[in-house]
A and B are shown apart, each in its own frame.
Chain A
Amino acid sequence: MHVVTKILVVFCAVLSLLLAALTMAYAANAGEVRAAFKAEEAQKLAAIAVKDDVVSQANSQRADDQKKTDAATQLANGRQAEITNLQAERTELRTQVEQLKAASEGINNRIVQLSAAVDTQAEIIKNYRDEVTKLRDEGLAASRREIELVDRINDLESQVEVTTANVRALKEQLAEAQLALQTAKDGGNKAGDGVIIAAGPLIQARVLEVFRSPAGEAMAVISEGSNRNIKKNMELNITRGDQFIGTLMVVTVEPQKAVGKINTFGKPVEVKPQDMILSRLQQ
């Protein structure tokens, strides 16, 4: 065997031993490292699970915190709005307080002015009272005088009424005298028949009713009587418009009406209610 071959054999043996030792150590260490790696991996998975749980809890907690934060924010916003409103209200109240102070000062000033005015008015009222008292006394005196004058006027009016009644009676007496005088002057049949011709103021009346007497004479009731100075045997004229119809000889007189005999002088006319009765045909 060649020496080189021997050397190579020796090297081969040594290298084989070395390789075997290295291989065993490598294998053992690789196994340990692999086991450790598995353990670490398991721990990692457990840690990841724990982390996920923690993250989930953290998310839940964060969601709750977010809700609480939102609620707190909303509450804070509400509080802020309320604060703003309260500040505005406070400002308004301050303004009102200032206004009320100013009004109070104005009222005080006005009270002072009114006090002065009251004093002045009291003095004026006092003067007025004195003057009114004076005027009342004067008025009372004037009233007394007026009463006296009224009494005097009433006396005079009574005297005037009496005088007027006397004048009216005298006028009636004068009218009757004139009528008697005229009748005497006429010397006619009427005076002899006792027929009275109305004198004085014009007498107007209306025919109320037309009827026949038991003797068959046409009779009429008129709307005026002794109140208008209509007397028995007075002859009145019956007209309708501008037409003369006849005469009415009064036979019965009452205060508010009279009854008379109709005379149409043979004319074919008929007296109707509402025909006019006149004491004379000319004004």
Chain B
Amino acid sequence: MWQKYLFPATVQEALEMLTAHPGESQIIAGGTDLVLQSKRGQCPATVIVDITRIPGLDFIVERDGFIAIGCQATHAQIAASPLVRERAEVLASACGSVGGPATRNVGTLVGNVVNALPAADGAVALFALDAEVEVADANGRHWMPIAELYAGVGQCVLDPCAQMVTTIRFRPLKPGQASACQRLANRKALALPTLAVGTVVGVKEGMCDMVRISVGPVAPIPFRAREAEATLLGQPPMSEAIAHAAELAEQAAQPRDSLLRGSSDYRQAMVGVLVRRALTEAVAKAEGR
């Protein structure tokens, strides 16, 4: 399957290992997706660069006004992090629903993102948190909005033989702001989501001053329901306004018919239900109820 398995000691060394094998190299962290892709012949890489032994990349910290999560942080670590649970609950819940415990012990949030699947629980939560990612390559490091990483279903814009994501960051929620997620799946555990919804809401003096709604998989990439967000912004978060926003999110979603996940019609109708529930929950928490 693979010809070389390398352990770099620094990000710089990892990038050098990648670029030394153009067209053949690929980063591995937990490997819960990459191993399957390699087994199925869906990944051409033969030189595997394992970044899990580079010191100092497993952080989950608050710094410079952001929550920053390193590329080695696993779903289990993020789901258990008091910082994430308190200040970005939607992400803790999402990471806690990925796969089973053994997958969460190994799989990373950054891996969830760079695999670029629209159903990825962690990614849906990060869209609701308006996250950014730090990309390292030969030119240095730069930040980009998470949505710009996505080129299509399972396609990340980064060059796997030259670039890596080192950090994800987003603003922690403040008093008066709260998040919630809703998930529909065939089983309570070990099941990919039929639908996943993440919401972040801020309420100030009785009005919504922040609304973000993300949904997956209803489009080639995790989907932000912008019209639904706009209709609720500046409004009091009453149940009629929430129901209207949920209706707009439902109309904007374009889920495919899927033997695995259910019909397009069913899933579209459920987008409205889940968005309404997630908004209602987030508003109640933001208002301290």
- Chain B associates with chain A: no
